[in-house]
Structure 1
């Protein structure tokens, strides 16, 4: 989510800037002390050399040599210009942050109510000269379950990318609840559609943070989505429950558990349409079957799944299988 990414970037950048600022302050203090040491050191070396010359212990030329050497050493130690410039360079960073206005509340943007599903009429798409979709007609009704199958290169992922709003320069018509899809904003689509690929992205943080994404929800709301996404038992077995850290990119969770966290995100925000792009292909047979059956058992969800391996146990629960052919 944009708000979470912006907020996390700000917090990390402020922490980094504070650390650099503290480092610069300490370095500057040392440099100031070095400046006094520079003056004192050069005077001391010059005075000592003069004394030795006066005592005829060293030649008079040594005074010039030691004076030059002292200047090089102590001027380097006492040089403050680079340190002061580094301190000044931090100021624009904080000035930019002052212009940011980040809301942690749920979006209040008005979006159209979903009254009907998705209608495709003569839909086509080409990557340059390569036509991957041509004159596709299909209807996806609310609450029903669909599989989209076809050979590699038949345009399955391209079709899902059109439906999730990534590709807007398609030909033909794609109607979502009576609205042309490419006329809707990305935010409007994401309010209703959850897109899941093979490896959902998780942030370094707790299970709770990865589900709420910085927004505020009640414990009752979280408990409901944990049950709906089959995360109840997983969370119950974690040492700190919802507040257990799951590591960088969720590495402490299995593939199936990461998929369930992604589902919980969508359920928490009332997503009614799930686009599954080979979302279970990287899981073991048992986990993949569990997640697919879980999605198909939810009567409120509209599910469109791309798969290379349509299991018979899943096929029997689908309302329709849409076959795409190579162009």
Structure 2
């Protein structure tokens, strides 16, 4: 994420914004400059001149105030449009990178990380010309009063600018630590709150509190550490500001006493000092903030990189495996038998709990890395192919649905398949359920309130897998919530199709077993 890309969102708006900020800053300094002569006019009792100058000051102040509000609106609109583009790129990157992504991690990237970069980097970009303009116009004003005032400002301003760089590495580390802590907190919440019902069942709410408190403490500590680092930067800037103001006022007093500058300067020089002091301080702070998210910004840039992909993806029809095993973080190793699944074969995969049935599916889908061995996917002609794992039809134990209509959940938003939906609804014994719904296939799914049963959820994903003509389908307990009679009807139609199917199941009766070509039992 960069100023160049932010600028490219709407070039005309961005140029207008920068010009308006520069001019608005100049108007604010102009008001202070005019105040010098207002004070002098009062001293000399030139009331007509005073009224003219104060009226002019009021008009310029109103114009500058309106200009600042327009600038704030434009920059917010520019940043929001830019963030929209970034979010689109991140989602596109995650969709095509073929890597497993934790939901909490993705949420953190799309929300917290982008907001952190917005506040520390993007919003600051347009502040820089504003504060630079204040320094330039205030310096010109001081130069018009007397060159010595400008010299004092330049020397102490330079000192103010370079001192805060000492804290830059600490600010970078604090920003990255905050992002990681927030990511960890969201991940912890997702993992533990998903099992809230089980925790209630066994009355172990104290364990949940303990885990969440620990994650919350880590996040709180990261927030405090970052705030402390920024406070240190602020203290350093304030000390430098005090020195600048003292020296500037001392030099001004000497000049007024010797009648080198008009009397009004003794009052307004403090305003010029404040503008320069605040602008230098803000520039130093905000430049430090920009660099504080450098590492985080590089991570976001990596997640927006375009991944080359083709729209015509191959789907496997068969596979062979050899010496496949996986190793878990606790050191446990699961070894799988060598497999030779032929095109169109219907395999029933069985085994005791913990034997690795679901793990094998995750290995085939690329969600778990191999410890040893190799997997060869083949097309319907028996040729080895490189595949996109997304083209493997997969029905997990917990069906994945979306808050949209039943029809769209089956077609996955492919309008060309709508005329086939009813046929596949019948194939999975879902037709009678649909008739009972007032909106039929247009019924919107409510994922929070679960307005459909577990069996109906499974029927939807079964219809989805079949309607998309996947050549290779993995089904993990895909009918566990469906009654035996309906399961038998579904299996007859499903296993009569041309696809290659590996089906994990238990408690099937003999008639169901007989529908499969063979059984592979894991031990």
Please say if 1:262 is aligned against 2:464.
no
* DSSP 3-state at the match of 2:501: strand
Q: 1:245 Cα deviation (Å)?
A: 1.9
Would the alpha carbon gap of residues 264 and 279 (structure 1) be closer, same or farther in structure 2, given more than 3 Å must change? Answer: closer
Would the alpha carbon gap of residues 180 and 126 (structure 1) be closer, same or farther in structure 2, given more than 3 Å must change? Answer: farther
Q: 1:205 Cα deviation (Å)?
A: 2.1
Unaligned runs of 5+ in 1: 1-80
Please say if 1:319 is aligned against 2:517.
yes
Please say if 1:309 is aligned against 2:296.
no
Q: Does the 8 Å contact 1:118/1:139 carry over to 2? A: yes
Which residue of structure 2 lines up, in the alignment, with residue 130 of structure 1? Answer: 332
Q: Does the 8 Å contact 2:406/2:445 carry over to 1? A: yes
Superposed CA offset, 1:129-161 (max 9, x none):
211125x21211122211111222211111111
Q: Which structure's residues are more often helix, by fraction?
A: 2
Which residue of structure 2 lines up, in the alignment, with residue 233 of structure 1? Answer: 432
Would the alpha carbon gap of residues 109 and 243 (structure 1) be closer, same or farther in structure 2, given more than 3 Å must change? Answer: same
Which residue of structure 2 lines up, in the alignment, with residue 158 of structure 1? Answer: 359
Instruction: Identify which of 212, 224, 229 aligns with 2:411.
Output: 212
Would the alpha carbon gap of residues 241 and 287 (structure 1) be closer, same or farther in structure 2, given more than 3 Å must change? Answer: same
* DSSP 3-state at the match of 1:176: strand
Unaligned runs of 5+ in 2: 1-67, 93-308
Instruction: Identify which of 95, 104, 107 aligns with 2:82.
Output: 95
Q: Which has the larger radius of gyration?
A: 2
Would the alpha carbon gap of residues 228 and 285 (structure 1) be closer, same or farther in structure 2, given more than 3 Å must change? Answer: closer
Q: 1:180 Cα deviation (Å)?
A: 6.9
After the TM superposition, list the runs of 4 or more consecutive aligned residues in structure 1 that deviate by more than 6 angstroms: 84-87
Give the alignment's TM-score, normalised by structure 2: 0.40
Which residue of structure 2 lines up, in the alignment, with residue 189 of structure 1? Answer: 389
* DSSP 3-state at the match of 1:235: helix
Which residue of structure 1 lines up, in the alignment, with residue 140 of structure 2? Answer: none
Give the alignment's TM-score, normalised by structure 1: 0.61
Which residue of structure 2 lines up, in the alignment, with residue 12 of structure 1? Answer: none
Q: Does the 8 Å contact 2:397/2:476 carry over to 1? A: yes
Mapped partners of 2:490, 2:364: distance in 1: 22
Which residue of structure 1 lines up, in the alignment, with residue 256 of structure 2? Answer: none
Superposed CA offset, 1:278-326 (max 9, x none):
2233444444444344422x2312221122323222111211111111x
Which residue of structure 2 lines up, in the alignment, with residue 109 of structure 1? Answer: 311
Q: Does the 8 Å contact 1:119/1:175 carry over to 2? A: yes
Would the alpha carbon gap of residues 152 and 226 (structure 1) be closer, same or farther in structure 2, given more than 3 Å must change? Answer: closer
Would the alpha carbon gap of residues 119 and 110 (structure 1) be closer, same or farther in structure 2, given more than 3 Å must change? Answer: same
Would the alpha carbon gap of residues 276 and 251 (structure 1) be closer, same or farther in structure 2, given more than 3 Å must change? Answer: same
* DSSP 3-state at the match of 2:502: strand
Higher relative contact order (CA 8 A, sep 6+): 1
Superposed CA offset, 1:223-261 (max 9, x none):
333333333333333212221223236822222221121
Mapped partners of 2:339, 2:443: distance in 1: 43
Q: Does the 8 Å contact 1:197/1:277 carry over to 2? A: yes
Instruction: Identify which of 374, 390, 409 aligns with 1:173.
Output: 374
Would the alpha carbon gap of residues 247 and 94 (structure 1) be closer, same or farther in structure 2, given more than 3 Å must change? Answer: same
Q: 1:112 Cα deviation (Å)?
A: 3.3
Q: Does the 8 Å contact 1:122/1:172 carry over to 2? A: yes
Which residue of structure 1 lines up, in the alignment, with residue 124 of structure 2? Answer: none
Q: 1:221 Cα deviation (Å)?
A: 2.9
Q: 1:197 Cα deviation (Å)?
A: 1.9
Q: Which structure's residues are more often strand, by fraction?
A: 1
After superposition, where does 1:140-151 map in structure 2 within 5 Å? 140-151=341-352
Q: Does the 8 Å contact 2:326/2:369 carry over to 1? A: no
